[in-house]
Amino acid sequence: MKNIVCENEVEVQHLPGRDLQWLFTPEQNVSEAFSMNVVVIKPGCTVTPAHSHPEKEEVIYIVDGSGKTYINGYIYDVCKGTAVLFPKKSIHMLRNTGEVDMKVVCFFTPQATLADYEFHEQVVFPE
């Protein structure tokens, strides 16, 4: 059981609009309640496609940077120190509108993996 994970030791997945690293996953058998990842969004980039988690809640915490989040058709400003709850089934995206990398920590309950994402490619982030 690995209770301590350093992001520098975790594989980076290069996905549309972000680099993602899973720190706690269901496969690690560390937690029965949650999983966790860290994403870095470059300036001007948007996490795409829009997605939801039909059976999961997601809480994100902005560690650095600023931008906007899309939740079910509404746009909200986010910045360093902001926490956001994405309820089950909510369609959401993040966009970095700042000048530095946006670093975001994402927590899922119950546990999630990329296989649990439902994609909504028809939804675009309004300009």
- The answer as to whether 2 is a domain residue is no
- If you count DSSP H runs as helices and E runs as strands, how many of each does the chain have, helices first? 0, 11
- The answer as to whether 46 is a domain residue is yes
Residue 1 pLDDT > 80: no
Contact status, residue 89 vs residue 121, Cβ threshold 8 Å: no
- The answer as to whether 4 is a domain residue is no
- The answer as to whether 69 is a domain residue is yes
* Domain that residue 99 falls in: 12-118
Residue pLDDT, tens place only, 18-38: 999 999 988 888 888 999 999
Sign of the CA dihedral running 110, 7, 5, 78: negative
Residue 12 pLDDT > 90: yes
Q: 116: which 2 tokens?
A: 């649990």
Burial of 10 (0-12, 13-18, 19+ CB in 10 A): middle
- The answer as to whether 91 is a domain residue is yes
Q: 69: pLDDT confidence band, cut at 50, 70 and 90?
A: very high
pLDDT, mean over the chain: 95
Q: Residue 31's pLDDT is what?
A: 87
Instruction: State what percent of residues in the chain have pLDDT above 90.
Output: 85
Q: How many CB atoms lie within 10 A of CB 4?
A: 6
Distance CA 55, CA 18 (A): 23
Q: Residue 41's pLDDT is what?
A: 98
Q: Residue 28's pLDDT is what?
A: 86
Q: How many domains does the chain have?
A: 1
- The answer as to whether 88 is a domain residue is yes
Half-sphere exposure of 52 (CA within 13 A, CB side): 14
- The answer as to whether 123 is a domain residue is no
CATH number at residue 113: 2.60.120.10
pTM of whole model > 0.85?
yes
As a whole number, mean pLDDT of residues 71-75 equals 97
Distance CA 23, CA 9 (A): 9
